[in-house]
Amino acid sequence: MTLPNLQDYHRPATAEEAIALVQQHGEGAMLVAGGTFVHGLEVRGLLDNVTALIDIGRLGLGGISREGDTIVLGATTTLAAVAAAEFVGREPAFGALRDALTYPPPQIRNAGTIGGSVAAAAPLYDIPAALLALGAVVRTTGPKGRRELPLDGFFRGLFESALAPGELITGVAIPPPPARTAGAFLKLETNANDLAIVSVASQLTLDGAGRIAAVRIVLGGGVGETYVRATGAEAALAGQQADDKAFAAAAKAVSGDFEPVTDHRGSAAYRRHIAGVYLRRTLTTARERLG
Ligand SMILES: Cc1cc2nc3c(=O)[nH]c(=O)nc-3n(C[C@H](O)[C@H](O)[C@H](O)COP(=O)(O)OP(=O)(O)OC[C@H]3O[C@@H](n4cnc5c(N)ncnc54)[C@H](O)[C@@H]3O)c2cc1C
């Protein structure tokens, strides 16, 4: 790995110190948490101007806490720690997050962090898709104070997010899912270290009569410059009985929800087809998880 202009490495003890260091180094500053994506950015020539790495591993931002029924994943909590959390393993509502966390290899799960996964703004990542389906909110602190940014609208493009210069993610808050909610996530990849061809995260809430009271569907992978909310498929499902007929209608509708890319991993037509198949499968799994 080469950072041709790197001069400084800092390991601040507080968020305030980290923000001051970012301001001091200006555009040359780069935050590092688990460091697993630094190489990915470097090979794309995006780090040539980096002069200082600011390691945020000692800011005390790790850990999972509850604020009432809201769950807060600290920014430097590793993916492995989230996967090991009791509620993730047990509750159907966290099924999509649980599924998504099985994809990264163990080395990445042990070093990569929730904050880094979100801040990277790479729609090829699985965990943010699941967090989007859960309606999560990003918490930040920066030169202008603290902010809460819903993940809906946070991702602006490939490697682009709503974070302002010098703004640090402190955590990701997950609001309490409604009763009778379950999620599921699936992705198609060529092998365990390749990028997602298509991924689908589905979150389903049923009423007492088995009708769909709420649904959130997020597409990732090569479906565009950033994650896509499948609003057409969601509309096809809203208020319907959660049966195979409704799921088939949603699978048809989802092909109009995005403009996939064509590359060596798959054509746009193939991606549209897989999105429909995986949508049906994730909805079926979510329904099964509700018993
Ligand atoms: C071989 C490999 C396989 C992978 N497989 C998968 C997979 O199957 N599924 C999947 O979802 N992901 C996968 N990933 C991606 C992985 O999840 C991310 O690399 C990881 O989550 C990033 O976290 P990090 O702490 O290492 O971030 P870092 O590499 O430290 O940082 C990434 C970016 O985020 C910024 N940043 C980090 N933390 C913060 C913060 N708190 N506030 C503001 N900015 C911040 C950094 O400045 C940098 O721009 C894979 C990565 C690799 C290298």
pLDDT at 176: 97
Domain shared by 124 and 25, yes or no:
no
Question: pLDDT tens digits, residue range 241-285?
Answer: 999 999 999 999 999 999 988 888 889 999 999 999 999 999 999
Look up the domain containing 14 and give its range: 8-55
Question: pLDDT tens digits, residue range 95-113?
Answer: 999 999 999 999 999 999 9
The whole-number average pLDDT for the span 100-128 is: 96
Domain shared by 79 and 34, yes or no:
no
Residue nearest to atom 13 of ligand 1 (CA): 104
Domain shared by 44 and 136, yes or no:
no
Q: Any residues with Cβ below 6 Å from ligand 1, and which? A: 30-38, 40, 56, 75, 103-105, 108, 111-113, 115-117, 119-120, 125-127, 168-169, 193
Amino acid type, 6:
L
Question: pLDDT tens digits, residue range 132-143?
Answer: 999 999 999 999
* Residue where one domain finishes, among candidates 109, 141, 174: 174
Ordered DSSP codes for 216-268: EEEEEETTSSS-EE-HHHHHHHTTSBSSHHHHHHHHHHGGGS-----BTTB-H
pLDDT at 39: 85
Domain shared by 72 and 165, yes or no:
yes
Residue 90 and residue 84 in contact, taking contact as beta carbons nearer than 8 Å: no
Residue nearest to atom 50 of ligand 1 (CA): 104
Of ligand 1's listed atoms, the one at least distance from the Cα of 32 is: 30
The answer for residues whose C-beta is within 8 angstroms of residue 17's C-beta and 6 or more apart is none
Domain shared by 140 and 156, yes or no:
yes
CATH number, domain with residue 270: 3.30.390.50
Q: Is 2 within a domain?
A: no
The answer for residues whose C-beta is within 8 angstroms of residue 134's C-beta and 6 or more apart is 93, 94, 96, 97, 174, 175, 177, 183, 203, 216
Enumerate the β-bridge partners of residue 212: 206
Q: Is 3 within a domain?
A: no
pLDDT at 138: 98
Domain shared by 243 and 259, yes or no:
yes
pLDDT at 150: 98
Q: Is the pLDDT of residue 1 over 70?
A: no
Total domain count, the chain: 3
Question: pLDDT tens digits, residue range 198-221?
Answer: 999 999 999 999 999 999 999 998
Mean pLDDT across the chain: 95
Q: Is the pLDDT of residue 49 over 80?
A: yes
Domain shared by 149 and 95, yes or no:
yes
CATH number, domain with residue 49: 3.30.43
Domain shared by 80 and 26, yes or no:
no
Tell me the pLDDT band of 174, cut-offs 50, 70 and 90: very high
- More confident: 46 or 253: 253
Of ligand 1's listed atoms, the one at least distance from the Cα of 167 is: 43
CA dihedral defined by 118, 122, 123, 128, rounded to 10 degrees?
Answer: -10
pTM score: 0.96
Tell me the pLDDT band of 195, cut-offs 50, 70 and 90: confident
Q: Tokens representing 10?
A: 């800092």
